[in-house]
């Protein structure tokens, strides 16, 4: 199991949201550069960075900071938030990002998703953020009528190989991951599934590993010391 510690950015600061609510933010950790180095020192094999300003506003607002973090990192960086153009994809890849998580644009602009896969397939990951089984967009502030399993099957046919699945209702709550939803998703598609949302301790990591999850993004539980990176990755 690879644990991806999360660095969520708003206005250049590391924050955590509660259930995706931008009105419930908490500053966590050190400054982003120091936090990145701490995660690497603690044994992170991949780090997950999200531009929450970009996710909400539809463009990469913190490109300069993310580029700096990519340049400083000695491990692969996965970046999400506000990636809605081929130009942004190209810029982030040139900056050193290894994997790019497409969210709103993957759902709302199929032509863009197809072209992104065509040009940069090895870098493209699609994030499925769901609430009550329905896919959410626009920084989680809009919930569609599209079922998360139907969407996963569709993007698999387009060539998507990796999906980050987040249960919004559990994100930042440390109430445990939605194992059943993840298991259903694993059974529905052949894509690699990265779990996100609600992970509270190492027992949750073990539960995810038991159903076949190979990677998990962890935020609040990492910052609170409930999940440790040292010796956690295999």
Residue 15 lies in a domain: yes
Residue 229 lies in a domain: no
What's this model's pTM, rounded to 2 decimal places?
Answer: 0.90
Instruction: List the domain range (segments joined by +) for residue 107.
Output: 2-223
Tens digit of pLDDT at every position of the chain (234 positions): 999 999 999 989 988 776 656 666 777 767 999 999 999 999 999 999 999 888 877 666 789 999 999 999 999 999 999 899 999 999 999 999 999 999 989 999 999 999 999 999 999 999 999 999 999 887 567 888 999 999 999 999 999 999 999 998 887 778 899 999 999 999 999 999 999 999 999 999 999 999 999 999 999 899 999 998 875 544
Residue 234 lies in a domain: no
Cα–Cα distance, 123 to 25 (Å, whole number): 29
What's 110's domain CATH number?
Answer: 3.20.20.70
Residue 29 lies in a domain: yes
- The residues annotated as belonging to the active site are 8, 129
Residue 230 lies in a domain: no
Residue 126 lies in a domain: yes
Q: What element of type H or E holds 104?
A: helix 104-108
Provide the number of structural domains found in the chain: 1
Cβ–Cβ < 8 Å for 86, 112: yes
Residue 43 lies in a domain: yes
Are β-strands 124-131 and 99-102 bridged in parallel, bridged antiparallel, or unpaired? Answer: parallel
Residue 232 lies in a domain: no
């Amino acid at each position: 199991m690879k644990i991806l510690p999360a660095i969520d950015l708003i206005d250049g600061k590391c924050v955590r949201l509660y259930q995706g609510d931008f009105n419930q933010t908490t500053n966590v950790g050190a400054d982003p550069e120091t936090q990145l180095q701490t995660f690497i020192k603690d044994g992170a094999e991949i780090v997950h960075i999200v531009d929450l300003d970009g996710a909400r506003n539809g463009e990469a607002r913190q490109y300069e900071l993310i580029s700096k973090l990519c340049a400083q990192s000695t491990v692969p960086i996965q970046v999400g938030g506000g990636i809605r153009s081929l130009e942004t994809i190209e810029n982030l890849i040139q900056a050193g990002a290894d994997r790019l998580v497409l969210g709103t644009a993957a759902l709302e602009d199929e032509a863009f998703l197809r072209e992104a896969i065509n040009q940069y397939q090895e870098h493209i990951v699609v994030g499925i953020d769901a609430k009550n089984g329905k896919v959410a967009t626009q920084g989680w502030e809009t919930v569609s009528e599209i079922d998360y399993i139907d969407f996963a099957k569709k993007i698999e046919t387009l060539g998507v190989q990796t999906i980050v699945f987040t249960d919004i209702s559990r994100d930042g709550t440390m109430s445990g991951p939605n194992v059943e939803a993840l298991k259903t998703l694993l059974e529905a598609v052949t894509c690699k599934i990265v779990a996100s949302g609600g992970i509270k301790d190492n027992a949750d990591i073990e539960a995810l590993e038991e159903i076949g999850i190979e990677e998990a993004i962890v935020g609040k539980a990492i910052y609170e010391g409930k999940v440790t990176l040292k010796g956690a990755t295999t």
